[in-house]
Amino acid sequence: MWRKAVKIYWNGDSKNIIGERLKELRKQQNISQRILAARLTLSGVEFSVLTILRIERGERFVPDYEIAVIADYFKVSADYLLGRAEK
């Protein structure tokens, strides 16, 4: 069975590099991890509260398709989430 390749972003200290920006964006909108997870799940990709928590803490790899969903939700670029651009 053929599986779609998933790109993994790693900075050496954490399993992802979007956690800090995700937390910052979530707090700017004054929403909880639970609300964010529910709203992101509406995009068709399942997110749980634990998923958001682990991303924000840098404890979870974030596949490229999840980065795209998060960027779309917050209306920022994937490069912004990845720390490569300013909004």
Q: Indicate the domain borders of the chain.
A: 19-81
pLDDT score at 59: 93
pLDDT score at 63: 95
pLDDT score at 77: 96
Q: Which CATH architecture has domain 19-81?
A: Orthogonal Bundle (1.10)
Separation CA 46–CA 39 (nearest Å): 10
**pLDDT average per 10 residues of sequence, the chain (87 residues):** 56 83 98 98 96 96 96 97 88
pLDDT score at 86: 84
10: tokens are 């790693």
pLDDT score at 76: 97
pLDDT score at 71: 98
Neighbours of 52 (CB within 10 A): 23
